[in-house]
Structure 1
Amino acid sequence: MAVNEVTTTIVGRVASDITVRTSPQGKNWARFSVISQERRFDSENNVWVDGDRLFVSVSCWGWTAVNAQRSLSKGDPVMVMGRIGTHEYESASGEKRVSLDLAARAVGPDLSGCWAVVTRPSRDPVAEQPLPLSTPATEQPLPLPAPAAA
């Protein structure tokens, strides 16, 4: 943790496929988007209505990246905690844009919207090897680990 680091927790739904890549240094990392949408009760019409939406780009590293891809899919309810910041960039048309980025320390299902079965991976040295370097066109879901012997 750094001085004046801004950390937050986002609760929402996975809004994109979770893709895992391997850095040139051999570290696994993943990127995906999360949407958090407010729901408000409209007392005049006696109905729930959608409110403001927030899109956040999430990145995570190591086992967090691998396990996020193995455990979550687009549309799943999720909670993500980490360091938040903005990323300024220029679009293809030359327009300046800003995105909200969250460097995740923890990722997990939001159990208020689903149930989960927790499985701890075995410490198989083969499973701890970095994933092969991939490109977006060839990315495949990672295989699930074999269950640990009882």
Structure 2
Amino acid sequence: MKTQLTVRGNVATAPRRVVTDSGTVIVEFRLAATERYFNRQTQEWEDGTTSWYTVSAFRRLAENVFRSFSVGDPVIVSGKLTIKQWTSKEDKKGTTPEINAETAGHDLLLGFTDFTRYTKSRSPLVAEDSHDGPLIDHGWEEPEALSA
């Protein structure tokens, strides 16, 4: 059984983009979520334990995460949690929590972002990406910035 989970943290590794043989786009990155608590003795906020997650996004969400997230960005990720067991080549064993993201975005409590919506188009667009060459053609037209 998979558990729904929402995590607030920081992007710890550059999102890595892969396209499978069948054309599915997958983006993966590590997320660091550090607890914060108020120390009543010092009257200051302090960092607690950091939990580490591997986040995977697929298809359109993957493309948007790849274009939007950078190392250090404060983000919120929601998705299905899976605990993976692993064994290294040196027979070291461990577990890794993985989140299959259903949605993700910047944490707007800590800053602001400019949002660009993609809309369907009759003529396909292949967007160039500064990270890793051309993106998959989704049939989207030129993005329009939304105005408030």
TM-score (norm 1): 0.82
Aligned residues between the structures: 138
User: Unaligned stretches of 5+ in structure 1?
Assistant: 132-138
* Matching of residue 140 in structure 1 with residue 138 in structure 2: no
Q: Which residue among 103, 108, 111 is the counterpart of 1:111?
A: 108
2:96 to 71, 79, 99: 99
Decide which moves more: 114-123 or 82-91: 114-123
1:113 is paired with a residue whose SS is coil
Preserved CA contact (<8 Å) 1:31 1:57: yes
Which residue is 1:136 aligned to?
Answer: none
- Is the aligned partner of 1:78 residue 2:75? yes
Q: Counterpart of 1:66?
A: 63
**Aligned counterparts of 1:98 and 1:127: Cα–Cα separation in 2:** 39
CA distance in 1, matches of 2:145, 2:38: 49
Secondary structure at the aligned position of 1:70 is classed as: helix
Structure with higher RCO (Cα < 8 A, 6+ apart): 1
Q: Normalised by the size of structure 2, how large is the TM-score?
A: 0.83
Stretches of structure 2 lacking an aligned partner (at least 5 in a row):
136-140
* C-alpha contact 1:66 1:142 (8 A) present in aligned 2: no
Q: Measure the CA separation in 1 of the matches of 2:47 and 2:145.
A: 46
Change (3 A) 1:21 1:113: same
8 Å contact 1:70–1:142 — kept in the other structure? Answer: no
3-state SS of the aligned residue for 2:52? Answer: strand
Per-residue CA shift, 1:75-127, capped at 9, x if unaligned?
A: 00101010001111111321111100000010111101110111012435243
Conserved 8 A contact 2:5-2:80? yes
1:127 matched to 2:118? The reply is: no
* Cα root mean square deviation, aligned: 2.6
